[in-house]
Copies of this chain bind each other. A is one copy, B any other.
Amino acid sequence: MTQDTATNPLDPVILGHCAAEERTFTREMLTRVGDRWTLVVVAQLRDGPARFTELLTRIEGISHRMLTQTLRCLQRDGMLTRTAYAEVPPRVEYALTPLGRTLLEPLAALIQWSNTHREEVAAHRDDFDR
């Protein structure tokens, strides 16, 4: 490969100087993180497991359908676990896995960025809209 592709992660992934699999996966992850509910769900599980209805209640605005879908997606990727208890009525608990937690760290950096630059961006927008 080219010499510096290893040093800056942006080069290989975004510019295409790497395996198609990696590019695809990275795009997929960015899309995930950028979608409406993934992060909210993950954040809700950060301090401990929660049940389905519990999440549905706590997360304002999410629909039944999207919660299911988001949970399945995260579960499939090994970001969270689903534990069904054989009771009536059924009880299901979702919990973040260690892998799921590792994602929170790089995300924090991005969130930090947005907090730091919010006003600067807002100023640019006002200027542009004038």
Contact = CB atoms under 8 A, between A and B. Distances in A.
B22 A30 contact: no
Interface in A89-105: 99, 102-105
Chain A interface residue bracket vs B: 35 or more
A46 interface: yes
Q: Which of A103, A104, A105, A114 has the most CB of B within 10 A?
A: A114
A28 to B, nearest CB: 8
A128 B22 CA distance: 20
Interface of A: 8-10, 13-15, 21-22, 25-27, 29-36, 39-40, 42-44, 46, 75-78, 99, 102-115, 117-118, 120-125, 127-129
